[in-house]
Amino acid sequence: MRRGAWADGPGWAAVRAAAVQDVIRAARLVGLGVPESTVYARCRSGGPWQLLLPGTVLLASGTPTPDQLLVAALQYAGDGAVVTGLGAARRHGVRRGPTPDGRVHLLVAHDRQPASCGYVVVERTRRMPGPVHRRGFPLAPVARAVIDAARRISDPREAVELLSDAVQRGLCTVGELVDEVEAAQRQGTAVPRAMLRDVGAGSRSAAERDARAVWRATGLPEPWWNAPVYDADGRLIGIADGWWDEVALAWEINSYAWHLGPRNYAREQARAARFAAAGVTLLPTIPTRLRHDRAAVVAELRAAHLHAASRPRPAVRAVRPERIAAG
């Protein structure tokens, strides 16, 4: 198919130069001399171009890349739009939380009029954040992106995973998350407000949140959470998810994520071996049992504590972590 007279000379080069990752607004194409009828004819089913959003053209057929979809969303929303929510959190480096569903969540100024369309969720706000640019994309700051994502998560477990991961990776602080949720619209903030109480108290994951609930049912003293344990020579053995210091009992919540590759599996096995060599009683529990086999885990914890108390305490030393301060 001939591109037409507009594409036989410098016109096509100008079109390609104006496009961003082959994405361009239809109005811009017309301004560059492409007849409007040609634009939409080439976007028909089976044509060489496609409409990703109203008035937003991909100069190619086939499946668009995530970056092309994001470029199209930003062009559709217009100047000043900022990416927020889970998509922005992922681009900042947050890894845990819900699986992305392909939607792009954008913030625009309150007096702007673009509406949500297709895979794009447009939120008008009076609190437009200053963008942080990553690979050329304007993103909301980490705390804003995470809270905007958490406001749309109905599963508390996924919410705490998201919030905890942002803090653990050093991408933002608990205090920044608290400030952001306090400044946010009340709608949708009940879950992140509740979850931040757990994050602020030191919950490192949804599994640990479940572990705390299981511990409360045991009648045992509260363990030290995430406590580093050292051998008699002062060498770090590992960090116990739960640690009963008086009897040297370590509780390990073994997330499947640690066993997806041989290197992580070997690291976890070596860690368990160090605890055993130091004489520490180690009880491993997989996260799903905390929810679906709670009574059995309660019984196992009680039995492990009784066993640990029945033998001489090994010469190990643990450090009680400071609670994470919300600020």
266-286 tens-digit pLDDT: 677 788 899 999 999 999 998
Grade residue 322 by pLDDT with cuts at 50, 70 and 90. Answer: low
| Residue pLDDT, tens place only, 245-271 | 999 999 998 754 434 344 456 677 788
Predicted local confidence at residue 201, as pLDDT: 54
Task: Please check whether residue 5 is in contact with residue 38, taking contact to mean a CB–CB distance below 8 angstroms.
Answer: no
**CA–CA distance, 227 with 240 (Å, rounded to integer):** 5
**Which of 163-177, 248-262, 307-321 has the weakest average pLDDT?**
248-262
Q: Is the pLDDT of residue 203 over 80?
A: no
Against a cut of 0.75, is the pTM above it? no
Domain over 206-318 is classified CATH 3.40.960.10? yes
Residue 149: both structure tokens together: 């994502």
- Sheet architecture: strand order including 50-53: 23-25, 56-58, 50-53
Q: Is the pLDDT of residue 326 over 50?
A: no
Task: Please check whether residue 256 is in contact with residue 244, taking contact to mean a CB–CB distance below 8 angstroms.
Answer: no
Residue 136: both structure tokens together: 């050329």
**CA–CA distance, 75 with 90 (Å, rounded to integer):** 21
Longest dimension (CA), the chain: 90
* Rg from Cα positions in the chain: 26
| Residue pLDDT, tens place only, 55-68 | 999 999 999 999 99
| Residue pLDDT, tens place only, 75-111 | 999 999 999 999 999 999 999 889 989 999 999 999 9
Task: Please check whether residue 213 is in contact with residue 293, taking contact to mean a CB–CB distance below 8 angstroms.
Answer: no
How high is the mean pLDDT of the chain? 87
Mean pLDDT of 222-228: 92
Grade residue 204 by pLDDT with cuts at 50, 70 and 90. Answer: low
Mean pLDDT of 201-209: 64
Grade residue 19 by pLDDT with cuts at 50, 70 and 90. Answer: very high
Question: Which residue type occupies 4?
Answer: G
Helix (H, G, I), strand (E, B) or coil at 289: helix
Q: Is the pLDDT of residue 323 over 70?
A: no
Q: Render 266-295 in DSSP notation, one character per residue.
A: HHHHHHHHHHHHTT-EEEEE-HHHHHHSHH
Domain boundaries, the chain: 5-64, 68-200, 206-318
Select from 287, 279, 283 the least CA-distant residue to 258. 287
Predicted local confidence at residue 318, as pLDDT: 94
